[in-house]
Chains A and B, each alone.
Chain A
Amino acid sequence: MTDATTVSADAALQKKSGSLFEVGERTKRRQAQERRFRMMGLAAVTFGIIALFGLLGSILSNGVSSFRQTYITLDIYLDPAKLDKAGNRNPDEMAKVTTFGYAPLIASALVEQIKKNDISVEGLSDKDAGDIISKEAPASVRNYVLAHPSKVGETVQFDILADGRIDGYYKGRVTMESAQLDRNVNPEELVLADKLKEAGVLRTKFNTAFFTAPDASDTRPEAAGLGVAIIGSTYMMIIVLALSLPIGVAASIYLEEFAPQNRLTDVIEVNIANLAAVPSIVFGILGLAVFINWAGLPQSAPVVGGLVLTLMTLPTIIIATRAALKAVPPSIREAALGVGASKMQTIFHHVLPLAAPGILTGAIIGLAQALGETAPLLLIGMVAFVREFPGPPPEGFFDPAAALPVQVYNWTTRGDPAFVERASGAIIVLLMFLAVMNITAIILRRRFERRW
């Protein structure tokens, strides 16, 4: 009934304005509807673009600060009486002095520095003053001494990491009010840091250690770096490239050029299509059950991660390679066959080189996908806390390592808010790698793609 009434109402409206030059009610309504629909479309597009910029902007604004780090410049007297009792500068013997032996040297150097600059802060004990230095500092001084034993007995200038809270103070994460409530820092320390900054002893500079240092424990966010994760990810990418490119290209050549129409071919095709849509975490379960539990490969090793990611990227590479092979026109094949080449020669000498840019583009995109993948790596133990750098390949492939995206996840599970900044910074590094890979792929495609 409602339909009928609207139709008659429409007709009534239409009757009122018989003239073509006068816009009738119904036309107005339809045009308004048209405008609304169009606006909805535009709003959706705008939302999509805003979402992209919101996402990137939030990560950037949280993470950029991790590329800068607060350091304190100290002149440390490397006291031979404490570091090298035997006095023969033998690093093996000096290694017996643990980091506890180095901490007092740094503390006294700081007190010295404070005195020299005539700084005094009310209510600040020497011990509290020492807290503005990272707990990682004794370890880094120790490493330096063990690497340069002849320097013992001299006064050496070090750039010592400031504590994470002091660093956070200069990045707006810690304020005087929050320091009041914080057990790890008190406002007097922040005042001291400010005075040291005025004196030029404390400053913020580019954080190279973020790219080279290994991960650090929960209480030392200021020392945590991506070194092991970058190496682990690189190793995995090497394995993925070395395995998935040849296997993927070989499989594509077979399916595109040789495969007869039979059951086996159908089964393979269906399998590849399905594997492309299997959730990545299922590949992690496969890796855990087959590679670690059954084949006995070590946990947290890049080799297992590489194998799992290879299986994951294979469908992507196969699909891209088949498209590239398909794009080579049949006339090329016919010409080669016509002058007497065998089918294998035709493919390897003519079709494959012409399809190479497309294959390479697909491989890079597959690799980029593998680089950002996290979930399967969690299951094969890449979340482990790894501070040792893996050895050089091929043995290094079996050493424990971290991976970039997993390191991000790992940092977000820690308590200290300074790790959130580190995680965002690590994401920026990851996105940089991805951007470089994708831009390379685009350039390759633009530069070498041939239209037939």
Chain B
Amino acid sequence: MTPGILALIVLALTVIGYFLGRQRAVAAAAQQNKRLHSLPGYYGQSVALFTAVPAFLLMAAWLFLQPVVIESQIAGQIPDSVVEKAGAKSLVMADVRRIADGLDLVITEGGVSEDELDRMRADLTDVRGRLANVGVALGSDVSPAVFEAAKSYRDIGKTGSLLRNIFVILAAVGFGAWTWSRITPEMRARNTSEIFIRTLLLGSSLVAILTTLGIVLSLLFETIHFFQMYPATEFFFSTVWNPQFRGGSTLGILPLLWGTFYVSFVALALAVPLGLMIAIYLAEYSGSRLRSFAKPAIEILAGIPTIVYGLFALITVGPLLRDWIAEPLGLGNSSSSVITAGLVMGIMLIPFVSSLSDDIINAVPQSMRDGSYGLGATQSETIKRVIMPAALPGIVGAVLLAASRAIGETMIVVMGAGASARLGLNPFDAMTTVTVKIVSQLTGDTEFASPETLVAFALGLTLFVFTLGLNILALYIVRKYREQYE
């Protein structure tokens, strides 16, 4: 029974529970000649909620925990010699999982019965060939220990699924029946179901905390794992980034950080002045016709996916800068460069700066402008001497938010900035960033055993800390220095 069918069964039980509960309440009220405390529907709702929610929670928890439990059981079965040969425990476990999945296919497609499979032994049968027949390719021959582990993986998995089905249906029927049996006309069914729903609402809002926890824990856990294999001082202070797939890599973060900050700096150098001038012009000078056209047009820039900017950098801006500026001036001949990625990212950031600043400038009260005009200042003098100082904290906040966007941006730099890690000053050189390296280290087949893969988590944690810091700083500045106007 697949989880999908199980879910359908629970749903069906829920619907039945609703009608049974409602009917029992109405019948009890008629029999005892009493008035119900709540509307009849609430009695049904209570039964339905008690049927569905615990069962689904149990199912979700089971689906999540079963693989972990099985893995820890199987891991004990595999002798150390096999682990040493393969290099790492996770590699062996991945093999076990693939063989187990493959065996399912062998049974459904290869016409092998369960009994035959039980008798099959890795040293006598060509397991690898059998698996290849159903489309599961293995890198090496299957050792007996791994094959036995795969078989017991399947067995435990099957027992687990059976137990899961039994317990989930028991939970649904049990809680439903218990609530149903408690139904009397005096039962406060509305209060019960409302408290239940309220708890569900609270639970949903906890998803945000769970997500943050998930991010922080997975990053921290794997980063610690990484630092056990690779010295932290090397990571933070080495100026060379040179991953080797045969080991012996140098994984220094400094060239990546340099690339990240260089690209972000170019982007902000374009986006901040432009965005600010756009905000000022639209808020203070432009007529309503230009504003009603230009403001949405610029905000469209914020809604365009970053992959579009990436493609723009790759096929238009990069070749343009190379052919018209870099090559004639002898500055380089690569179409992906810091300046390409920076300029395109700058365009992407313009609406972030402009629309936030626009709101802030509009929040400066008219009386301050009028006062300034009354003293004889021109409009631009008023903007520079009166409005800007009043709006400054908000604008700094907007710029910091844009900076955190720039640091975390991925697709534009992947497609526009290049992949070579270097510490240099020439903006027409290809450089690389933290996000580019996260993508390149984690794309494709990933085994979580080598420092070359795990370094991506350390990079991710660095990125997370930087952006989080910038966001908190931005919020702090906006709150602390905000001028209060009436």
Bound together, the chains give a CA A13 to CA B46 distance in angstroms of 87
Kindly state the separation between the CA atoms of A251 and B208 in the bound complex, as whole angstroms.
9
CB proximity of A120 to chain B, nearest CB, Å: 39
On whether the beta carbons of B67 and A344 are closer than 8 Å, the reply is no
CA distance A420 to B194 in the complex (A): 56
A-B contact pairs, 6 of them (CB 8 A): A43-B277, A268-B209, A311-B207, A368-B303, A375-B414, A424-B315
Q: Does B457 touch A at the CB level, under 8 Å?
A: yes
Whether A254 lies near B212 (C-beta < 8 A) is no
Q: How far is the CA of A272 from the CA of B415 in the complex (A)?
A: 30
A434–B407 CA distance with the chains assembled, in angstroms: 25
Set of chain A residues within 8 Å of B467, measured between Cβ atoms: 277-279
With contacts A274-B468, A278-B215, A379-B443 taken as known, whether A52 is within 8 angstroms of B207 at the C-beta atoms is no
Cα distance A314–B379 in the bound complex, in angstroms? 43
> Which of A253, A374, A431 has the most chain B CB within a 10 Å cutoff?
A374
Closest Cβ of chain B to A136, distance in Å, is 22
Report the stretch among A55-63, A151-159, A216-224 that lies at the interface: A55-63
B64 nearest CB neighbor, chain A only:
A295
A255 near B457 (CB under 8 angstroms)?
A: no
Residues of A close to B274: CB separation below 8 A: 44, 47-48
Contacts beyond the supplied A58-B315, A311-B207, A372-B308: 13 A-B pairs with Cβ under 8 Å:
A52-B297, A250-B203, A281-B460, A289-B222, A289-B457, A294-B67, A294-B218, A342-B194, A369-B303, A379-B439, A409-B415, A420-B315, A438-B303
A250 and B464 form a contact (CB under 8 A): no
Known: A254-B204, A285-B218. A271 touches B209 (CB 8 A): yes
Contact of B298 among A49, A253, A273, A368 (CB under 8 A): A49
Binary interface profile of B, 424-458, with partner A (CB < 8 Å = 1, else 0)?
00000000000100110011101010000000110
In the bound complex, do residue B315 and residue A62 qualify as a contact, i.e. CB atoms below 8 Å apart?
yes
Closest A residue to B456 using CB positions: A285
Task: Say whether chain B's binding surface is mostly helix, strand, loop, or mixed.
Answer: helix
Within 8 A of A (CB), among B184-204: 190, 194, 197-198, 200-204
A58 partner, pick from B2, B316, B381, B456, beta carbons under 8 A: B316
Q: Is the CB of A51 within 8 A of B307?
A: no
A38 to B285, CA, bound (A): 8
Encoded as 1 (CB less than 8 Å from any B CB) or 0, chain A from 104 to 122 comes to 0000000000000000000
Do residues B64 and A427 form an inter-chain contact, with CB atoms below 8 A? no
Q: Which of A26-34, A86-94, A188-196 contacts B (4 or more CB under 8 A)?
A: A26-34
A87–B457 alpha-carbon span in the complex (Å): 60
Residues of B close to A250: CB separation below 8 A: 200-201, 203-205
* Separation of A52 and B435 alpha carbons in the complex (Å): 25
The contact of B446 among A37, A281, A288, A375, by CB within 8 Å, is A288
Known: A51-B301, A58-B315. Is A33-B378 also a contact (CB below 8 A)?
yes
Q: Is the CB of A254 within 8 A of B350?
A: no
User: In this assembly, does B102 line the interface, its C-beta being within 8 Å of a C-beta of chain A?
Assistant: no
| Interface residues of A, dominant DSSP | helix
In this assembly, does A258 line the interface, its C-beta being within 8 Å of a C-beta of chain B?
yes
- Which of B63, B190, B311, B467 is the most central at the interface, judged by chain A CB atoms within 10 Å of its CB? B311
Q: Is the CB of B211 within 8 A of A275?
A: yes
Question: B307 near A408 (CB under 8 angstroms)?
Answer: yes
The answer, among B378, B407, B442, for a CB contact under 8 Å with A288, is B442
CA distance A275 to B383 in the complex (A): 35
Which A238-277 residues sit within 8 Å CB-CB of chain B? 246-248, 250-251, 253-255, 258-259, 267-268, 271-275, 277
List of A residues within 8 angstroms of B468 by Cβ: 274, 277-278
- B190: A residues at CB distance < 8 A: 342
Given contacts A258-B198, A275-B211, whether A38 and B380 have CB atoms under 8 Å apart is: yes
Does A275 lie within 8 Å of B410, measured CB to CB? no
Chain B residues within 8 Å of A281, by CB: 408, 410, 435, 438-439, 460, 463
A311 to chain B: closest residue by CB: B211
A64 lies within 8 A of chain B by Cβ: no
A278 touches B439 (CB 8 A): no
B294 touching A49 by the CB < 8 A rule?
A: yes
B328: Cβ under 8 A from any A Cβ: no
Say whether B214 contacts A405, CB under 8 Å: no
**A11 touches B (CB below 8 Å):** no
Query: What residue in chain A is nearest B67 (Cβ atoms)?
Result: A296
Chain A residues near B219: list those with CB within 8 A.
Answer: 282, 285, 289
Q: Is B104 an interface residue (CB 8 A)?
A: no
B269 contacts the other chain (CB 8 A) = no
Q: Mark A391-430, 1 if CB is under 8 A from B, else 0.
A: 0001100000000010011001000000010011001001
Min Cβ gap B374→A in Å is 16
Q: Which of these, B201, B208, B214, B215, contacts A253 with CB under 8 Å?
A: B201
Greatest chain A CB density within 10 A among B190, B306, B442 is at: B442
Query: Is the beta-carbon distance between A251 and B311 smaller than 8 angstroms?
Result: no
Report how far A248 CA is from B211 CA in the complex, Å.
13
Which B residues are in CB contact (< 8 Å) with A405?
A: 305, 307
B326 proximal to A (CB < 8 A): no
| B305-A254 in contact (CB<8A) | no
**A284, A378, A381: which has the most chain B beta carbons within 10 Å?**
A378
The one of B205, B278, B407 in contact with A45, judged by C-beta atoms closer than 8 angstroms, is B278
If the complex has contacts A273-B475, A281-B410, are A40 and B294 also in contact, measured as CB distance less than 8 A? no
Asked if B471 is an interface residue, CB under 8 A from chain A, the answer is yes
> Mask for B284-317, Cβ within 8 A of A = 1, else 0?
0110001000100110110111111111101110
Whether the Cβ atoms of A251 and B201 lie closer than 8 Å is yes
Kindly list chain B residues whose C-beta atoms are within 8 Å of the C-beta of A42: 281, 285
Say whether A329 faces chain B, with CB atoms less than 8 Å apart: no
Are the C-beta atoms of B463 and A282 separated by less than 8 Å?
A: yes
Contact A427-B300, Cβ < 8 Å, known A268-B209, A271-B209: no
A140 at the interface (CB under 8 A from B): no
B316 touches A48 (CB 8 A): no
B329 sits at the interface (CB 8 A): no
Question: In the complex the two chains form, is B350's CB within 8 Å of A51's CB?
Answer: yes
Question: What CA separation (Å) do A116 and B221 show in the bound complex?
Answer: 71
* Cα A44 to Cα B357 with chains together (Å): 14
Residue B391 is within 8 A (CB to CB) of chain A in the complex? no
* CB-based nearest B residue for A285: B460
Q: A279 contacts B278, CB within 8 Å?
A: no
Bound state CA distance, A82 and B457, in angstroms? 56
Cα distance, A48 to B352, chains bound together (Å): 12
The chain A residue sitting closest to B215, CB to CB, is: A286
**Nearest-CB distance from B457 to chain A (Å)?**
7
A184 at the interface (CB under 8 A from B): no
- Do A247 and B297 touch across chains, with their CB atoms under 8 A apart? no
Q: Which residues of A contact B354 (CB under 8 A)?
A: 48
B281/A258 in contact, CB under 8 A? no
- Residues on A with beta carbons closer than 8 Å to the beta carbon of B221: 289
Measured CA separation A246–B200 after assembly (Å): 11
CB distance from B440 to the nearest CB of A (A): 10
- Please give me the residue from chain B that is nearest to A279 by CB atom: B408
- Taking the complex as formed, is A280 at the interface, i.e. its CB lies under 8 A from any CB of chain B? yes
On whether the beta carbons of B215 and A48 are closer than 8 Å, the reply is: no
Contact check: which of A34, A43, A383, A423 meets B443 at CB < 8 Å? A383
